[in-house]
Structure 1
Amino acid sequence: MRNKEIMEKVIKLDTQTLFSREQSARVMVQIAIIRKAFGVKNDETNKPVIDYDRELILTDDKIRKEYEQYLKFLKWSIEKKDLDKEREFKNQINYFIDGVDFFHKGLADEFKKDVLQYVKS
């Protein structure tokens, strides 16, 4: 993926004004997976953007493990019948999937299909 495209997305997420806790959670989850997937350092957003092909440094399996961590919290909240936490974790999973969709549509689609069994309710 082109570095310029990645950095534009990261900078857009990083510099937007946050008006709610929910918006803050969305930005944090999305920016975390995008930065981690491409190895984007914090100080890169303050430098001029150089355009080149930036490689994905996380494997599909590592991204799946990240997804499974979010899913683990959702399953826990369902088991405990904590509706507030369940809603919060469902949202976090959706934000994570949106972040993955930015750079790996196939994997995001896989997660969307998998999570349906938990988000129908």
Structure 2
Amino acid sequence: MELKVWVDGVQRIVCGVTEVTTCQEVVIALAQAIGRTGRYTLIEKWRDTERHLAPHENPIISLNKWGQYASDVQLILRRTGPSLSERPTSDSVARIPERTLYRQSLPPLAKLRPQIDKSIKR
């Protein structure tokens, strides 16, 4: 399935998205495609309302919840800041408290999807 996401005012299409694809995976694919590292968040926008999607959320499932309005919902990739390796390390720089938004970083991503031990039965 294809997912349409607005990046810097340009609509981009992410291919191969399924119901188990996470927002974090979409963010990484887009950030790599545009060649920019940093901290990103995926935003669901409908009219004047914006909602930040959590890294573990599934954008396809989220869009399906909109029902007949799904085609009116825009997904937007927004860069929220530099990656941790780009931040200044000087102690003289004042720390600004981070807002309570879901943040998605690129790179690294060592544990995108944890492996589930199928031998364990519940």
Give the TM-score, by structure 1 length: 0.23
Computing the radius of gyration from Cα coordinates, the structure with the larger value is 2
Give the TM-score, by structure 2 length: 0.23
Normalized per residue, the structure richer in strand is: 2
